[in-house]
Structures are given as structure tokens and as C-alpha cells.
Amino acid sequence: MFLLDLKYKGKIGYFLSRMIYGVFRYLKYDRKDDETYLTELFKKRQGYPLNLEDPTSFNEKLQWLKIHERKPIYTTFSDKYALREYVKENIGEELLIPLLYTTENYNDIRPENLPDVPFILKTNHDSGSYKIVRDKTKVDWKKLRVDCKWWMSLNYYWFEREWQYKNIVPRIIIEELLVDKSGKIPNDYKIHCINGEVEFIYVSIDREGKNKRNIYDKNWNPLHFTWASKSKDISKLRGEEILPPSTFDRMTTIAKEIAKQYAYVRVDFYDVDGKLYFGEITQCHGGGFDQILPIEWDYHFGRILKIN
């Protein structure tokens, strides 16, 4: 918390926070090779040892894929800005969330450069760095610019050794905030594909409200397992059952086409009152460190996932 607050204390505070973080990052991340780092973190997060020589669980195989399956197209698919061009050219421009502004300079993040409509500001090169703005008159713009500067200085590859993020050129992108007719952020449909086929759908429901997670098979039958970080209270994750969206068939068709490039991939979509939008492509859900429980499901999907 001290480090997070220090970066807002002017130029000297930001410089000191970067210096402290640099030492911390070197000791915790940079000085270890991928295999050593993944092995240590996997045991801590999963509770069982990582076997990279003969991986059998699904999460073990995701770690193996991080090291051995690296294609240039994966960098494009993980770059939230470059992915927009791919979607436009290969899937359909109408599926893109409207882009309102983009820049590589955090100093450009000022109210006069941004629209008067609700939007989401995020970076293209990592996961979890974003700011939802419904009313820009209520934003601390100086603080937001510091956040953007910090986000753009990070290389997400080092945190969980996902190679596809390593060479993305950082950029800030601002998209229109998707809301349904009730004013809520729509459900997030995460299509998980294994060996080119849809295996299950992980739905994030009412993220600003009840914030539930339901999982269904490709025929929308409920699957009663969870895939969440060790710190989550999984007893409260699942919500009331919902029906598939009207655009579900198109979601799965697109996801399967993208999945031809991967052994495993997650393709995200939004349905806003019957209008389909493309979300993002994730090569390693939870970094392969979130726990699949009951653990039998971890080994079940591990048996399905074929790696070379």
C-alpha cells in the first residue's frame, strides 16, 4: 500500500516508488528463469508440485504450453489494440467495441481529449489495468495519468511468464463503456476451447452487482466446478442459472475458428441486448495458477488437452 501511495507524491515520490519496485521485481521475478519461477509459484498457488516433464493436470499443461508453444500470432492476439485490426479484417468490424481514443503518451489522458460519454480506459499489453469512467467530471485526472504512466512501465510477462505479452508495445486505449438497457455492464461470456473445440463457457454475471461466476458445457448444461484464485471464497461464486444469450451460436463459431491456432484458448464476448461484441483472447486463464475445484476437473480437462 505504501508503494502504491508513494507514486502519487510528485516526481520524487514516483521516482522512489519505481526504484523500490525495481529492486522488488528483480528479487521476486527477473532473476529466475521461466521454469524455476513457474515451478515455485505453481506449488504455492495450486498446492501440488508442477511436473513439466510429464504434465497431467490441465493447469500443469498450461504451464508447459507457456514455455513450449510460442507463435508470433499470439502476441498480436494478446495485444488488445492490434487484435482490433484482426477482428475487423477476419471476423467483422461490427463486433468491435467503439474506440474513442488511443495514445502511447500518458500525458494525453486529459478531459479535453476524451468524450463526454461513459468509457473504459485500459492498456493493451497487460491484464487488470483499467479504469471505468461514467462521469469524467468526477475523475482525478492527475492521479489517473500517474496510474497510466505506471501501467505502461510494466511488462506483464514477468508476473506469470506468459510470453505472448513480452513484446507488446504499450498503449492506452479508451473504448465506449458497454451497458445494457438497464444501465449495467453486460455479462462476460468466456468461451474455453481445447484442441479446437468448445469445451465449456465461463460466464461473469452482473460484475458491478452480485458478481457471480457460472460454468456451462457447450450445450449450456451447468457444470459444477469452479476455476478461481486460491484466495476466493468459492462457496459464493455461483449464481442463479441463466439462459444462453441469443448470440451464443455465433460466439461459439467465432471461438472455434480462433481456437485452430491454439491447443487451449479462451475467447471472450459480450451480448448487449442481442448485439454481439468481441471482447478479448486469453491464452492462459488465470495464468494457469487459479485452482480448478474439485481437483478431479483439473485432471479431467488435462486428459482432454493434447500437447506435443
Residue 2 confidence (pLDDT): 60
How many whole angstroms separate alpha carbon 91 and alpha carbon 98?
15
Residue ranges covered by each domain of the chain: 60-68+183-308, 69-178
Q: Tell me the pLDDT tens digit for each residue of 200-213.
A: 999 999 888 889 99
Q: Is the pLDDT of residue 165 over 90?
A: yes
Q: Is the pLDDT of residue 266 over 60?
A: yes
Classify strands 119-123 and 130-133 as parallel, antiparallel or unpaired. Answer: antiparallel
The per-residue b/e assignment along 245-276, b for 16 or more CB within 10 angstroms, e otherwise, is bebbebbbebbbebbeebbbbbbbbbbbeeeb
What CATH number was assigned to the domain covering residues 60-68+183-308?
3.30.470
Q: Tell me the pLDDT tens digit for each residue of 178-200.
A: 999 999 999 999 999 999 999 99
Q: Tell me the pLDDT tens digit for each residue of 124-141.
A: 999 989 999 999 999 999
The per-residue b/e assignment along 35-57, b for 16 or more CB within 10 angstroms, e otherwise, is eebbbebbeebbeeebebeebeb
Q: Is the pLDDT of residue 1 over 60?
A: no
Residue identified by cell 468461451 is 191
Q: Is the pLDDT of residue 4 over 70?
A: no
The per-residue b/e assignment along 216-226, b for 16 or more CB within 10 angstroms, e otherwise, is bebeeeeeebb
Give CA separation, 151 vs 80, 97, 126, in Å.
Answer: 14, 22, 8
